[in-house]
Structure 1
Amino acid sequence: MKKIVVASGKGGVGKSMLASSLALLFSKSTKIVACDCDVDAPNLGLWLGVTDYDEREKISTSEKARVVNQKSLDDEVLEVCRFGAIKKVKGKYVINPLLCEGCGTCKILYPEAIEIKPVRNGELRVKRTKYGFPLVSGQLFPGETGSGKIVEQLRKKAEEFEHDVMILDSAAGIGCPVIASIRGCDYVVLVTEPTPSGFSDLKRILEVVAHFDLPYGVVINKWDINPRFSDRIRKWAGDEFLGEISYDRKVIDSIVNLNPVIFSDSKVVDEIKGIYEELRERV
């Protein structure tokens, strides 16, 4: 079974658009499962035309502290929490759940006064798409932490489905959910755009990919908005250059109408199919 993750250092470069297209193209010849690992802002489903899910499961991947014995506390506890979650309000010590990271420091120092309890901080969603493959998505609840652990649970859920290829749509950046998405994969598709910030962030995420010693390919989206800069990235990528996608407003029309790009009459369709064929050769 092959795991292909689509990632990017910068947001808004077309990562989910490409991931959805690759999922649809792979599904024509093999069994796949698609994973939306951007649990802070999942949108792979939108690129596949999915607006509702067949299953939803609330999960707990983090903990928070709460006060259970006021008498065992003193004002020194106010200096314990590095996140500033503990305050004294009207003579009582309270813990702000939105600031608490569940680190447990307060519990160690005041074991009789503090309790650490699991919290339901997100949910997993499953949709059996009309294209013949399941989509597994996750959502971190507002104000909660633990996005990386939710991605890990999401991937375990995806493994329950029979598949030969798993397509993972990572979050943008280099944080915990990105690391959880990339780790253990067979190939990384790195999407960028021809801008200084896009190129800089591409180099940053490449450091993460290199840490796990994974093969990768670079895709330049909207290459024609800055051909000179695109040429610079292309030369820099060398043998790891995977392909490029033009700018086309029909791509925007596709997401607005919840219609997969690959089924549109956009000029990018043939370009994406070319990237798909090259990717098949590499994995």
Structure 2
Amino acid sequence: MVHVRQLDPSASPLDYFGYEARRLREAAGMTLEQLGKVIYCTGSLIGQVETASKVPSRTFAEALDAAFMTDGFFSRLLKLVLRSQLPKWFQPYAEMEAKAAFISTYQCQVVYGLLQTPEYAAALVAVDHPDRVEELVAARMERMRILEKKQPPAVWVVLDEAVLLREVGSREVMRKQLARLVSFRDNPWVNIQVLPLAGGVHSGMVGSFTLLRFDDDPDIYYSESYDQAHMTANPDVIRERSVGYARLQAGALSVDESADLIARVMEERYGDRAEDVA
């Protein structure tokens, strides 16, 4: 007899997902292969999800909901599953980010997570976690769903020009990433400003940081290092960093000027002609 791993549904959201998927499949009297034919995937993949050895995709969760008529149960549970894949020190911030009404962030090294393409995110994740790229990218993409809400947060991003010039992944990856940034040009909820290198020293020299504002809760300041995060609602910190952020905005190009610069870098540095020259 083949030994089937027994899951503890209280161990983690991923274990709970697998436990419920197996429970409903067995209640329906279906084998892995039979369910696979219904939701258009292999029985092996279903088995991996049921044993919590693979993180399910949103398509997979939606297919289970349709197959078992669970009224979106697996799709809702997937949010918890993907959030649980984020580093533990980052999870509290992700929860607060999802509730924020206004997000102001300065990024000096990489594109802000909510604006990253899957390819760009994968290139970043692969540096330190080459064996977990798929699930970590899926978790990052899930964070972005807050931009699709009926009432999304207002997002204001100040990007150091160096972010545009540092090649992450490949020229093709960068071209797609910068094209995504340009696509927000007419989005009233997402504003992007580029802080030019020619501006010299500025109030963001200490590193990237984010300010979160809420409708009914105190503002929060957030910054991070390699393996830990710093999050505080200290009014003095909020005041000091809010003034610093205002100075960054004042020194940055306008939203339209920034979009023009991003588009120019996209074509001149990462376009087809740039590859030919290289």
Structure-2-length-normalised TM-score? 0.36
- Comparing both structures, which one devotes a greater share of its residues to strand? 1
Q: Which has the higher contact order (CA 8 A, sep 6+)?
A: 1
**What TM-score, normalized to structure 1?**
0.36
More helix by share: 2
